[in-house]
Each structure stands twice: as structure tokens, then as C-alpha cells.
Amino acid sequence: EVQLVESGGGLVQPGGSLRLSCAASGFSFSSYWMHWVRQAPGKGLVWVSHINSDGSGTTYADSVKGRFTISRDNAKNTVFLQMNSLRAEDTAVYFCVRDTRTYMDVWGKGTTVTVSS
Amino acid sequence: SYELTQPPSVSVSPGQTASITCSGDELGDKYVCWYQQKPGQSPVLVIYEDMKRPSGIPERFSGSNSGNTATLTISGTQAVDEADYYCQAWDSSTAVFGGGTKLTVL
């Protein structure tokens, strides 16, 4: 079964850091681009970042550029999102998503990040 | 930055046809995907590359894209289709989502 399982969310103070992980199984992880997409409480989906299949290329939404870093370990079938200088507006459920190069076809259940003092 | 605009809400009676639009500058030149999200669940891809249905998605879901508008059409809408729907396209190596449309079946 194709599966993505996120972890690493939690409560963090403004200015703090958090590292999210996404463990993939059931498919050839190293063949796929991967994304992080977030959803603030009661709000819509917002794309955060993506990484290409070998990790050599990344892009970021303007709202997180310079603060967040996406990476992957193809040997461990895992993609990461390092989040620094967190703000209240980063509070959201963060979804890990698989990309076939034209569409996002598999979504994890998400991990919740709350930034609050 | 590129923007996709959706109506906040659409209502439809059971058995009727629901149409949800997504507007963006020269959107017809891009591939559009549609995602369905029910409360407390992760999004599910229902249409990709403008009009293709993933395996397991009912035939009542269809899509089109031309000019500045993409449309998700649900024919013979059922109560189980009540959900939020999001369009998505790519612009300059970034993914863009529409604001979402709440489909109410009443």
C-alpha cells in the first residue's frame, strides 16, 4: 500500500524551530518529487515547498523562503521540512504529498504545528 | 504572484449537476487539478491534467479548462459529494491552489 506518514509536529514558541518528517512506503520513493502543503485552521490549502527526486532542486513559497528548508533521504525513504523562525501564521496542519510531475496524487494524513507562546 | 479564484460556496440539489469554477490568467495554458477534501480528512485527487479521472473516482466527476477558466462538473450529485473542492495549477515552478469551494448538497 502506498503510504505517507508525517511526524514531528507540536507546540513551539514564536521564533522557535521544528523539523517535520515524512516516511514513505509502498512505492519507489526516489523516483518521485515530493511536496509539503499546509492548511491553517478553517482555511484552504497552501503550497509550501517541493523537492525533486534526487534532492538537487527545491522551491519555496515566498512566505517561508529563507526560514524553511526541504530535504530528503532516499536511502531512508523520508522527506523533511526544517522550519526555523516560526511565526503564529505558520500554525497549520502540514501535509506531505507525492508528485507525479503533473499532479499530486498521494497525501499523508498530516501533522499539526502550533506556534504560540 | 499567480492567483486562482474560486467561488466560496456552491449549492446543488441531489441528482442535479454542480459546476465549480476556477479562474486565473491564461489558465487554459496550464494543467489544472482538482482535489476533494471532506472534514477532518486529507485531500483526494479527483481530476488531473484538466479532465482525467484517477482510478476509483466516479464517472460523474469531469473537468474542463479553456481560456481563463477551469470547471469541475459533478453530474448526478450525491450527498457523499458534499465537501470542499480546490483547484491547483503550476506557475513558474510553484504550485498554486485556489481558495476552495464548499459544495453543499441540499
Taking only the tens place, the pLDDT of each residue in A3-27 is 999 999 999 999 999 999 999 999 9
Phi, psi of B28 (to 5 degrees): -60, -15
Residue A46 has pLDDT above 90, yes or no: yes
> Which distant-in-sequence residues (6+ apart) come within 8 Å of B53 by Cβ?
B46, B47, B59, B61, B62
Q: What is the mean pLDDT of residues B74-95?
A: 96
Interface with chain A: mutation pick from B42, B47, B91, highest number of A CBs within 10 Å: B42
- Does the pLDDT value for residue B92 go beyond 90? no
| pLDDT above 90 for B29 | yes
Higher pLDDT among residues B92 and A88, named by residue: A88
The predicted model gives A66-77 an average pLDDT of 98
> Band of the pLDDT at A101, cuts 50, 70, 90?
confident
Q: Which of A47, A50, A102 sits opposite B96 (nearest CB)?
A: A47
B100: chain A residues, CB-CB within 8 Å:
44-45
Please give the grid coordinates belonging to residue B59: 464517472
For A5, the closest chain B residue by CA position comes to B42
Nine-digit cell at B94?
510553484
How far apart, in whole angstroms, are the C-alpha atoms of residue A114 and residue A110?
A: 13
> Does residue A112 belong to the interface with chain B, where contact is any CB pair within 8 Å?
no
> What pLDDT is stored for residue A13 in this prediction?
98
> Is A107's Cβ below 8 Å from some Cβ in B?
yes
pLDDT higher for A102 or B41?
A: B41
Query: How close are the terminal C-alpha atoms of chain B, in Å?
Result: 36
* Most B-contacting residue of A70, A103, A104, A105 (CB-CB within 10 A), to test interface: A103
Cβ–Cβ below 8 Å for A44 and B97: yes
Cα nearest neighbour of B95 on chain A: A47
